[in-house]
Chain A
Amino acid sequence: MKLLVIEDQMELSRSICAYLKKDNFICEPTYNFNDAMERIQTKNYDCILLDISLPMTNGQMGNGLQILSELKEMGKVDGVLIISAKNSLNDKLEGLNLGADDYLSKPFHLPELSARINAIIRRKSFEGKNKIMAGDLVIHLQDKIVKGVKGEIDLTRKEYELLVYFASNINKVVTKEAIVEHLWGEQIDLNDNHDCIYTHLKNLRKKLVSAGCADNIKVVYGMGYKFTVNEQP
C-alpha cells in the first residue's frame, strides 16, 4: 500500500516511515509544499499523511489545507490524515470539511498513527477488506464481530477496540500509555494509573484463549504489550 508522508520534519518523517514499513506500507516522504503538490497530481496513494504548516520552496510557509482543496478539486479519493502541531478545533473542522478523513495532533504515538491509517484505508476500500485477519482471528469491522477458531467471541466494546488496535500494530511493542490514550482519549488524565487496561487486557486474553486462539498478546516487561502473529507464507 502506498503512503505519502507530507511532513517537513525530516526526523519525524523518517520515524513514521520506518515504523510503517514493516506493515507492508511503501512510504514516500516529501518535505515541502511544492513537491507535495506535484506528487499528488501525478500519483495515487492509499493514504496521505498531511502536515498543515509546510515550507514552500520560496521560503514561505504553505498551508497544507490547500493540498486538501487541490485533491478535492481533482476528485481524488486518497485517504487523508492530517497531522498537526496546532491542535485547534478550527483547523480540524476545516480539514474534515475539505475532505480529510481524520486529524491527529502532535505529539502522537506511532501505534496510534498506524491504527488511524489502517482505519482510513479500511474505510476507503470497499469489498472484501472490511475484515482483518490476524493469525487465527478474524475481525469483521462492519458488524464489529470477532471470530476465533471455535467461532464468535463475545467481547466488550473496550476489548474489541483494544483488539483492533493491536491488529493495526501487529508485531509491534505498544506502550500502556499509547493504549490508554487510544481507549480513553488524551483529555482524561489518568495519573499514570494503568490498572484499567490491565483488567481489559486480562479479560481479552482469557476470552481469546478460551475461544481456542493462541495467546498472541505478550507482555513486554516494563514497557507494554506486543501482539505477535507469525506470518504464514
Chain B
Amino acid sequence: MKLLTRYSLINLLVMVVIFFVSSCTLYFFIKVILLREIDGDLGGIEDKIKEYVNEYHTLPRLYALDEEQINFYQTGKLQVAKEFETVRLYSNREKKLHNFRKVSFPLRFNDSWYRVTVAKPLEGMRHLSHTLLTISVLTILITILIAIVINRFLLKRLWKPFYQSLDVMRNFKLGKTGTPIFPTTTINEFAFMNESLLMATEKAEQDYLLLREFTENASHEIQTPLSIIRSKLDMIIQEEDLSQKQSELARSAFTAVKKLTRLNQSLLLLAKIENHQFDAAQVINLKSKIEEKLEQFTELWETQHIKAAWELEDVTVFINPELLDILLNNLLSNASNHNIPFGHIFVKLEGTKLVISNTGSAGPLDQKRLFTRFYKQSLNSNHNGLGLSIVKQISRVSLIDINYLFANGLHSFVLNW
C-alpha cells in the first residue's frame, strides 16, 4: 500500500470518527442547552404565578391564546417538590400531539395545596436544534472534505522529493549509471536523506570500481609469475636424465599451472566484460560463425565418439565478435566436456533462437546456481566453474536472453537474441 493511500485511509477513518463524535456531542449539547433555556422560561412562569397568587390571593386567569398550557389541580396536601419532564400533550393550536416540556410544582393557596403544571411546546426548539445541527454537521463535513483534498494534494507535493529520490535509487546500478543525481529540496529531512543516499552510493560505486580494478590488476600481476613458472617447467623437462618420479612431479606442476592460468584468464575476462571493454559490437553472420566453430569441434567430438547434428538458418546478430567467439567456445566446450561417451550434441539456429543441447548426466542441473561463479556439479571436477558464468555475463552485456532446459535426457541452453 502506498504511503499516501495509507495516510489518507487513516485520515479518513479518524475524520469519520471525529465527525460522528462531534455531531453526537453537538446534538446532545444543543438539546441540553435549549432544554435548560425552556426550563428557565418555565421557572419564570412559576415565579410569576407564585407572585400573582401572593399578591391577588387568587389563581391567575388562563388565556387560551397563551402558548403555555397551565393547569391547577387541588391536591389537599403537600406533594413532591418541583419536577421537570418531557411529555406528549395535545396542542390546541396545532390540533395534534406534540412534545411538551412540563414543570409541575406545589402551590399553597387558600390553605390548600395545589399542584400547578406549566407545559411549553418543544416544537420551536426542535426546529432550532435541527437547523443548528444541520449547519454544524454540514460545516464539519465540508471541513473534513476540504482537509482530505488538501492533504492529498499537499502531501503529494510535500513528498514529491522523496518519490523522486526513490526513483533515482531504483534506476541506480552499480558500475553502470555513475553517481546518482538527486533532486534538490528545501526540506531538511529529505535533503539529509539525499545526502546520506549520495554518500552511500558514492562509496559503493567507489568500492566497486576499486574491486574491479583490483581484480584486473591482480589477474595481470599473476600472469607474470605464472609465465615464469611455466617457462621454468618447460626448461626442467628438457633435462636429459629426468627420472620417472621427477617427470611425474613436473607433470603435476604443469597441470596445476594450466588450471591456475585458465582460472586467472577467466577471472580477467569477467572483469573485462564488467569493465565494458568489449562494447564495440558489429553485425555478424551467426550461421557462418557457428559453422566455423562446429568444424573445429567436430574433430574433437570424433575422438570422443560424440555424434553431432545441426540445423542452421541464415541469421545475423549484433554482438562483439570476440565475445561471440568466447560464448560459442564455452557453450560448445561445455556440451562436449559434460557429455557421455557415444553421446549426442544438437545445435539449432532458428530465427533469433540458438539452442545447444547435449546428452550428459541423468538429472537436470541446479537452475539457480548454474550460472553462478565457481558452480561445480562434483567437487573434484576439473573445471573451474567459471565457463557458464562467463556465458551469462556475455549474454547480459550482449542483451541475449539465456535459459537452461532439461528434457528427454537432453541438457539445453537456449539463447534468444
* Residues in A lying within 8 Å of B, measured CB to CB: 9, 11-12, 15-16, 18-19, 85-89, 105-111, 158, 172-173, 175, 177-178, 184, 186-193, 195-196, 198-199, 220-224
Contacts and interface: CB of A to CB of B under 8 A. Distances in A.
Interface residues of B, number: 47
Contacts of A88: 272, 277
B167 interface: no
A11 B232 contact: yes
B186 interface: no
B235 A222 contact: no
Contacts of A187: 325-326, 329
Contact of B383 (A15, A109, A191, A223): A191
Given A19-B238, A223-B247, A106 B296 contact: no
B329 A188 contact: yes
Interface of B: 220, 223-224, 226-232, 234-235, 237-238, 244, 247-248, 250-251, 254-255, 257-258, 261-262, 265, 268, 272, 277, 296-297, 299-300, 303-304, 322, 325-326, 329-330, 332-333, 336-337, 382-383, 387
Given A89-B322, A189-B387, A193-B304, A108 B223 contact: no
Nearest to B320: A89
A204 to B, nearest CB: 14
A50 B345 CA distance: 42
18 contacts: A9-B224, A9-B227, A9-B228, A12-B224, A12-B231, A19-B234, A85-B224, A105-B223, A106-B226, A107-B223, A107-B227, A107-B229, A107-B231, A107-B261, A110-B235, A184-B296, A188-B329, A190-B333
A188 B331 CA distance: 10
Contact of A196 (B299, B322, B382): B299
A42 to B, nearest CB: 28
A172 to B, nearest CB: 6
B228 A11 contact: yes
Contact of A189 (B226, B248, B262): B262
Contacts of A192: 255, 382
Given A107-B226, A187-B325, A177 B231 contact: no
B241 to A, nearest CB: 12
Nearest to B216: A86
Contacts of B250: 223
Contacts of A196: 299-300, 303
Contact of B257 (A107, A190, A195, A220): A107
Nearest to B264: A107
B333 A189 contact: yes
B300 A85 contact: no
Nearest to A106: B227
Given A86-B220, A87-B265, A111-B234, 7 more contacts: A12-B231, A18-B235, A88-B277, A110-B230, A158-B299, A178-B234, A186-B265
B376 to A, nearest CB: 13
Given A12-B228, A15-B234, A108-B227, A188 B303 contact: no
A172 B238 contact: yes
A10 B257 CA distance: 20
A72 B254 CA distance: 38
A16 B230 CA distance: 11
Nearest to B339: A191
A15 B231 contact: yes
A223 B303 contact: no
A192 B297 CA distance: 15
